[in-house]
């Protein structure tokens, strides 16, 4: 590809700062060129390690900054509508964190604005669609091997809810992930919703109706149920089981997609080391690039490379002789004395 994509990031809070770090340190092909936050100090801090980023307190100013070719909207939800409309006005592609717009009325205004443009500019930040397990489940459902999906059983648990979390937010903030995931996995729209709830957990803040149990019907004749429990205390768990006419498939417990059909219950086994260790290769090279840019050398050393050769040669002799073969390396140079493996 060609030059790096110039990105303005709106919002330098938790999520915005994380996206800035990601663009700078993880993702290939883009660079942060502008940042906006009402708190200028916070904005400066978020880009302190990056050269050449203009800092603004107004979203509009960041969008107008030199070099901006695209926008990430990571400001608080109530600011999204204005930010999206401003980006549309400039024709800038947008990655907008969820909720796109908190209220359906405002979301509809954004929808109508983009529809008037006649082309999509926006990718909404429903990140589960990019999770390996969700993608595996989606591919499985789309492939048709399990037949028509009948039900999705979903679980969404958080250790604890942040301050100010309300009973409604269990649905419009937490369950909104399952709403999108269900629509995406099934390719169907949700048509009704029923909510039941047990007596709240004593682990939930007083007055918060937590947990809740939400039951959707879809226009394709499927059911979707969601346990949402944001003060479960024991972990962050996201599970989804699709029950289909010819089998079921579950994610969130084990590696990959656990499929149950007439043949048994099980998961695919990777067929190739590039699949199994794809992330390891990526991290290896990223670690090398990062260290090298800092003038450092880390990771497996030449001593490690040498040791592997010496041991392997002894192993081949052991294979040939059937005997126990000692491994006898040269002395370890001081340079490698403290590499601590």
**Shortest Cβ 134–a copy of itself spacing (Å):** 8
Q: What is the DSSP string of 134-181?
A: HHHHHHHHHHTTT-SEEEEEEEEE-S-PPTT--TTHIIIIIIHHHHHH
Residue 96 engages a copy of itself in binding (rule: CB under 8 A): yes
∠ CA 220-225-227, rounded to 5°: 160
Residue 81 engages a copy of itself in binding (rule: CB under 8 A): no
| Local structure of 4: helix, strand or coil | coil
Question: Taking Cα atoms as reference points, which of 234, 238, 237, 260 lies closest to residue 247?
Answer: 260
**Shortest Cβ 20–a copy of itself spacing (Å):** 11
Interacting span for a copy of itself (CB under 8 A) from 38-46, 57-65, 128-136: 128-136
Interacting span for a copy of itself (CB under 8 A) from 14-22, 34-42, 56-64: 14-22
Binding test (CB under 8 A) with a copy of itself, winner from 211, 230, 242, 249: 211
Binding test (CB under 8 A) with a copy of itself, winner from 12, 34, 126, 161: 126
Residue 90 engages a copy of itself in binding (rule: CB under 8 A): no
Q: Give the Å distances, CA to CA, from 192 to 62, 122, 168, 188, 204.
A: 41, 27, 17, 12, 27
Sign of CA dihedral 286, 292, 295, 298: positive
Residue 280 engages a copy of itself in binding (rule: CB under 8 A): yes
Write out the binding residues for a copy of itself, residues 137-156 only, by CB under 8 A. 147-148, 150-151, 153, 155
Residue 206 engages a copy of itself in binding (rule: CB under 8 A): no
Tell me the pairing of strands 237-244 and 223-229: unpaired
**Shortest Cβ 51–a copy of itself spacing (Å):** 6
Residue 104 engages a copy of itself in binding (rule: CB under 8 A): yes
**Shortest Cβ 279–a copy of itself spacing (Å):** 7
**Shortest Cβ 43–a copy of itself spacing (Å):** 19
**Shortest Cβ 86–a copy of itself spacing (Å):** 15
Encoded tokens for 92: 């800038």
Write out the binding residues for a copy of itself, residues 44-73 only, by CB under 8 A. 49-51, 69-70, 72
Interacting span for a copy of itself (CB under 8 A) from 36-44, 56-64, 201-209: 201-209
Sign of CA dihedral 289, 295, 299, 301: positive
CB 206 within 8 A of CB 200: no
Q: Give the Å distances, CA to CA, from 58 to 34, 36, 76, 147.
A: 11, 6, 13, 51
Write out the binding residues for a copy of itself, residues 253-272 only, by CB under 8 A. 253-255, 259-272
**Shortest Cβ 72–a copy of itself spacing (Å):** 8
């Amino acid at each position: 590809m060609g030059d790096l994509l110039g990105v303005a990031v709106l919002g330098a809070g938790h999520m915005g700062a994380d996206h800035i770090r990601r663009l700078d340190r993880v993702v290939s092909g883009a660079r942060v060129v502008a940042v906006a936050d009402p708190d200028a100090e916070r904005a400066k801090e978020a880009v302190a390690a990056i050269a050449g980023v203009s800092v603004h307190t107004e979203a509009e100013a960041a969008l107008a900054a030199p070099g901006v070719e695209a926008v990430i909207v990571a400001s608080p939800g109530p600011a999204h509508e204005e930010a999206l409309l401003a980006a549309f006005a400039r024709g800038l592609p947008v990655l907008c964190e969820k909720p796109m717009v908190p209220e359906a009325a405002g979301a509809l205004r954004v929808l109508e604005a983009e529809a008037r443009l006649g082309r999509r500019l926006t990718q909404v930040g429903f990140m589960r669609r990019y999770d390996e397990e969700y993608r595996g489940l989606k591919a499985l459902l789309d492939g048709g091997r399990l037949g028509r999906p009948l039900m999705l059983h979903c679980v969404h648990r958080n250790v604890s809810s942040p301050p100010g979390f309300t009973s409604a937010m269990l649905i419009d903030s937490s369950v909104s992930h399952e709403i999108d995931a269900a629509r995406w996995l099934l390719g169907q729209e949700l048509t009704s919703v029923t909510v039941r709830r047990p007596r709240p957990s004593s682990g939930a803040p007083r007055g918060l109706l937590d947990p809740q149990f939400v039951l959707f019907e879809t226009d394709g004749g499927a059911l979707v149920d969601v346990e949402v429990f944001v003060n479960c205390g024991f972990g962050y768990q996201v599970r989804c089981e699709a029950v289909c006419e010819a089998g079921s498939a579950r994610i969130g417990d084990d590696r990959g997609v656990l499929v149950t059909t007439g043949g048994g219950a099980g998961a695919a086994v990777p067929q190739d080391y590039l699949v199994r260790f794809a992330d390891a290769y990526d991290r290896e090279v990223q670690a090398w690039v990062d260290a090298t840019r800092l003038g450092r050398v880390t990771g497996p050393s030449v001593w490690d490379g040498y040791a592997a050769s010496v041991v392997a040669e002894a192993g081949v002799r052991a294979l040939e002789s059937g005997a126990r073969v000692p491994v006898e390396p040269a002395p370890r140079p001081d340079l490698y004395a403290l590499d601590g493996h």
